[in-house]
Amino acid sequence: MRHFFLFFFISSLGFSQSSIEKAKTYIDEKDYSKAQQEMVVYLEANKKDDEGIELLGDIYGHQKKWDKAIEQYEKLKNSYPNNANYQYKYGGALGMKALSVSKFRALGLIGDVKDAFHKAADLDPNHIDTRWALVELYVSLPGIVGGSFSKALKYAEELENLSKVDGYLAKGYVYKADDESELAEKYYKLAVKIGGSVTCYEKLINFYESQELPEKAIHTIEEAQKKHQNNVFYYQLGKVCADYNIQLDKGEKHIKTFISNYSVKDGVQKKWAYYKLAQIYKHRKNKNEALQWINKAIATSSEEVFQEEKAKIEAL
């Protein structure tokens, strides 16, 4: 009998690790339905496995099934009220649900979202993700329901004490939202100087685009490309050239380089590169070339914006 229980324990442990690892592999492959199925079956036999419950919550979150994600995280939050990460995930799922429902229904969730994030921040003074969540929450909420740029900056300061780069990016985000463009640029540039990651560069590039400063955006993209050799920067540079009808030769060259080097890992689909090339040729009044590229985009996808662009090209 003792041997049977030993065998059963070892078999269950193997099943546990196998199921969880399988689910993680499915998540990496973005096959969330298979990951969900794997964890649902696993948790039927292992109802109190905390790692499995958290993973299932994450899987529901990837699929935007916020009610089901909330249900999983709430189990963990109730069982471990002093676990900062569970409080953070519960608050995050509630917050995402609030964004997906009517404003009236969202108002009823905001208090619980704040409570969960504040508790997570109090429980773990080093929890970076929670402080980012609080920055974004206080920026996005209207003042009438508790939004506050000063409170957002308070958590940006806490982030800066934990991580200079995160703090600078957070301050850039807050000042941009508050229309303090000079301060936003200052902190985004500091993030690039200190961190220099692809994310840091993308935040600064997106800021320049939002401020309609294409020359600065192009300069920053070229700097980022030199440092990181990331194919998507070729697309971004071509996109800026097409959007603002400037440096069209450079834009054409970079978009075509993006297409020739294309990989699904780039995160931008080829159809958008075809679309931007069509715009570049349209700016040059080259109707035939523009039609060739927009037709390639349309053959790939039935995006309404592609049809609208084709109509503009045909009207040349």
Structure confidence at residue 13 (pLDDT): 42
Structure confidence at residue 108 (pLDDT): 86
> Are 234 and 261 spatial neighbours (Cβ–Cβ below 8 Å)?
yes
How far apart are the two ends of the chain, measured CA to CA in Å?
85
Query: Can you tell me the distance from the alpha carbon of 210 to that of 187, in angstroms, rounded to the nearest whole number?
Result: 16
Q: Which residue has the tokens 């994450």?
A: 58
Rounded alpha-carbon distances, angstroms, from residue 280 to 92, 162, 178: 41, 44, 34
Amino acid of residue 219: H
Token pair for 247: 């440096």
Q: Which residue has the tokens 């196998």?
A: 18
Query: Can you tell me the distance from the alpha carbon of 95 to that of 115, in angstroms, rounded to the nearest whole number?
Result: 11
Of the candidates 209, 207, 238, 210, the residue with the CA atom closest to the CA atom of residue 222: 238
Query: Can you tell me the distance from the alpha carbon of 148 to that of 119, in angstroms, rounded to the nearest whole number?
Result: 19
> Are 69 and 94 spatial neighbours (Cβ–Cβ below 8 Å)?
no
Structure confidence at residue 12 (pLDDT): 41
Query: One digit per residue, pLDDT tens: the chain, 316 residues?
Result: 344 333 333 334 444 558 889 999 999 999 999 999 999 999 998 989 999 999 999 999 999 999 999 999 999 999 999 999 999 999 999 999 988 888 788 888 889 999 999 999 999 999 999 999 999 999 988 765 668 999 999 999 999 999 999 999 999 999 999 999 999 999 999 999 999 999 999 999 999 999 999 999 999 999 999 999 999 999 999 999 999 999 999 999 999 999 999 998 899 999 999 999 999 999 999 999 999 999 999 999 989 999 999 999 999 9
Question: Global pTM?
Answer: 0.84
CATH topology (fold) of 230-316:
1.25.40
Of the candidates 257, 266, 255, 263, the residue with the CA atom closest to the CA atom of residue 297: 255
Structure confidence at residue 145 (pLDDT): 63
Write the DSSP symbol of residue 285.
T
Inter-residue long-range contacts of 203-212, CB under 8 Å, 24+ positions, other chains counted: 203/169, 203/172, 203/173, 204/172, 205/236, 207/172, 207/176, 209/240, 209/243, 210/176, 211/181, 211/185, 212/244
Q: Does domain 143-229 have CATH number 1.25.40.10?
A: yes
User: Which residues have CB under 8 Å from 216's CB, separation 6+?
Assistant: 208
DSSP 190-246: HHHHHT--HHHHHHHHHHHHHTT-HHHHHHHHHHHHHHH--HHHHHHHHHHHHHHT-
Each domain of the chain, given as residue ranges in start order, spans: 143-229, 230-316
Query: Can you tell me the distance from the alpha carbon of 229 to that of 232, in angstroms, rounded to the nearest whole number?
Result: 9
Structure confidence at residue 14 (pLDDT): 43
Token pair for 198: 């692809």
